[in-house]
Amino acid sequence: MSTHGAPAGLLEYFAAQGNGTNEKIGIILVHGFTGSPASMRPWAEFLNGHGYTVRVPLLPGHGTQPGDLNKVKWQEWPACVEEILDELSQKCESIFICGLSMGGGTTLHVAQKHGSRLRGIILVNPMIHVPLVPVPLAWVLSRLQKMRKSVGDDIKRPGITEWGYDALPALGVVELLKMLKITREKLGQITLPVQLFHSVDDHTLPVSNTEIIMKGIASTNKNRIELTNSYHVATLDYDADLIYQNSLTFIESLTK
């Protein structure tokens, strides 16, 4: 896995205006840690094909080189999503956020602060903790090794890549864990409708992430769908169509 050789524009911020009756419904799709907008682009294009206005941000520290992710503070990730939320709020009547992995954790963080501005959230293999790795330990490890082995491209389909980093920036992990710790403590503040997709065969995150989120959020409208033929980056895997179609049904149920 690497950002080198990615098709032109695939690693950049993606925006597409909707049309028809769905134009006033905005959807933000947030990629994961060390990943890129490429992991969310097909989903965004599917939703845009149904008339929705879509945005796929490039999170700070991503889409360039791994070392850049060691220079980012965690607050920059939700701030990036909030900036797009502000923009869409000026033109859309309803807004949803979709998040993959760390993008799911970022989505939860934004939803805690701006729940009244959102109609619902959709999570795919969302991240809320790393078992047995508290922030202090991660910080010590980052002093010893700035780059670790990549955890990206956990995809069952052969020959598919999310065009992310081929290394894991250790200081970036420290910032990630800080955000997740704060977000986990406030899960009960989320009352929005939530659709969650979980891969049974996920080699990146344990199922405890999904269980903590489903138990911790206060939403009464929350649903979990199991993915049986995909690994972690399920938005690009064999179950992608299942995610796309069910997310469409979820959005329609809340906006029609």
What domains sit in the chain, N to C, each tagged with a CATH number?
A: 14-255 (3.40.50.1820)
Q: Is 202 a known active-site residue?
A: yes
Token pair, residue 171, equals: 């200081």
Model pLDDT, residue 137: 66
pLDDT at position 1 is 57
- The per-residue pLDDT for 25 is 98
Pairing of strands 147-149, 120-124: unpaired
Residue in 230, 232, 239, 247 annotated catalytic: 232
Distance between first and last Cα of the chain: 40
Give CA–CA dist 248/126, Å, rounded.
Answer: 19
Residue 136: its pLDDT value, please?
67
- What is the pLDDT tens value at each position of the chain, 256 positions in all? 578 788 888 999 999 999 999 999 999 999 999 999 999 999 999 999 999 999 999 999 999 999 999 999 999 999 999 999 999 999 999 999 999 999 999 999 999 999 999 999 999 999 999 887 777 666 776 676 776 777 778 999 999 999 999 888 888 999 999 999 999 999 999 999 999 999 999 999 999 999 999 999 999 999 999 999 999 999 999 999 999 999 999 999 999 8
Pairing mode of beta strands 167-169, 147-149 = antiparallel
Structural contact between residues 104 and 79, judged by C-beta atoms closer than 8 angstroms = no
- Catalytic annotation, pick one of 202, 230, 237, 239: 202
Provide the H-helix boundaries in 90-222.
102-114, 135-144, 170-185, 208-216
Residues ≥6 apart with Cβ < 8 Å to 202: 125, 154, 231, 232
DSSP helix/strand/coil, 241 = helix
CA distance 13 to 6: 14
Instruction: Find the Cα–Cα–Cα–Cα dihedral 85, 88, 90, 93, rounded to 10°.
Output: -110
Q: Is 232 a catalytic residue?
A: yes
Question: Out of 101, 142, 219, 247, which one is annotated catalytic?
Answer: 101
Active site residue 239: no
